[in-house]
Amino acid sequence: MEALIALSVGLLTACGIYLLLRGRTFPVVLGITLLSYAVNLFLFVMGRLSIGVPAILEPNRADYADPLPQALVLTAIVIGFGMTAFVVVLALRARADLGNDHVDGREP
């Protein structure tokens, strides 16, 4: 399970970075999105993977699921969602203002 999650985070990050380095705004926006998925997954599993344990402390119970990363990841998702919406609108605006969708504002 741990290996699978680690592999997913790594793959998402790698794809995100590859897309971020592309020259057009659309792949860049997709790259940011993939990177934020990777971050969210990473933050989520930082509370460790546990199955079937409650998210509260009880007397005589040693194992519990850490609720804090879930709260953190919720915040990160909301912020990431807002930022993605903003960057999509900005990319469209730049496309309209500059006449092309290259990140440098002119065709190479």
Partner 1 sequence: MTELGNHVVIAPILVPLLTGTLLVLLRGSATPLRRTISMLGIQLLLAASLWLLLQVANGDLLVYQLGSWAAPYGIVLVADRLSAAMVMVTSVLALFAMMHAIQGSDRRGRQYHVLFQFLLMGLNGAFLTGDLFNLFVFFEILLIASYGMLLHGGGAARSKAGLHYVVVNLVGSSLFLFAVGTLYGVLGTLNMADLALRIAALPPEEVGLVRAAALLLFVVFALKAALVPLHLWLPGAYSAAGPASVALFAIMTKVGGYSILRVYSLIFGAEAGPLANLVEPWLLVLGLLTIVVGTIGVLASRNLALLVAYLVVISSGSILTAFGLGSQAALSAGLYYSFQSALVTAALFMLTENVARTRGAFADQLRAGPMLPAANLLGGLFLVLALAVAGVPPLSGFIGKVLIIQASFDSQAMAWIMAILLSTSLLTLMALARAGSTLFFKTDTNAGAATLPDAANLVPVAAVAGISLLYVVYASPIYSYTEAAAAQLLSPADYIEAVLDGEILINGETTPHGVPPDSGRHD
Report the distance separating Cα 27 and Cα 37, nearest Å.
Answer: 15
Tell me which residue of 43, 37, 35 sits closest to 15, measured CA to CA.
Answer: 35
Question: Interface with partner 1 by CB under 8 A: which residues?
Answer: 20, 25, 28, 32, 35-36, 38-39, 42-43, 46-48, 62-64, 66, 68-69, 72, 75-76, 79, 82-83, 86-87, 90-91, 93-94, 97-98, 103-105
Report the distance separating Cα 40 and Cα 12, nearest Å.
Answer: 11
Q: Mutual orientation of helices 25-45 and 2-20 as an angle, nearest 10°?
A: 160
Our CB check for partner 1 shows the closer of 18 and 48 to be 48
Distance in Å, CB of 52 to partner 1, minimum: 15
Our CB check for partner 1 shows the closer of 7 and 93 to be 93
